[in-house]
Amino acid sequence: MDFTNEFPCKCCAYLKLMSGEILNSSPICINHCQVDNLGNFTQAINSVNELDLENDLLIEFQNDNKIILELIISSPDSTNYFPILGNQNLYYSINMDVNSKINLN
């Protein structure tokens, strides 16, 4: 999964199947964007993450063809207010490489 965070907040993501099964045991955390002294957005932060799925979870994911992305957003500093503007976004993309082990006897 690739994330691009333009929010001045740290985001942590959990991925779930439609059955409620959590795909990642610990959250995927994406740091907040870079801000200036006034807390205004200056540069997005990119994060590339990889998940290894067990075979049964991979099959369920392929059958459902849907995933639930649960985000937990937290401020980098609880004493400051950081504006989130209408033109700031959190982008993500999911790419899947399916690797198989083949045993020849």
Task: Give the pLDDT confidence of 13-37 residue by residue, as tens digits.
Answer: 898 999 988 888 888 888 888 888 8
90 by DSSP, 3-state: which?
strand
Domain for residue 100, yes or no? Answer: no
Please state whether the predicted TM-score (pTM) of the whole model is above 0.75: no
Does the residue 21 lie in any domain? Answer: yes
In this structure, what is the dihedral angle of CA atoms 49, 50, 53, 59, given to the nearest 10 degrees? 90
- Whether 83 maps to a domain, the answer reads yes
Q: Is 10 part of a structural domain of the chain? A: yes
pLDDT given for residue 95 in this prediction: 75
What is the domain extent for residue 67?
Answer: 2-93
State the total domains in the chain: 1
Are 61 and 16 in contact by the 8 Å Cβ rule? The answer is no
Given a cut of 80, whether residue 1 has pLDDT beyond it is yes
Question: By the 8 A CB rule, do 47 and 3 touch?
Answer: yes
DSSP code string of 1-53: -EEEE-SSSEEEEEEE-TTS-BS-SS-EEEPPPEE-TTS-EEE-EEEE---PP
The residue ranking higher by pLDDT, 75 or 102, is 75
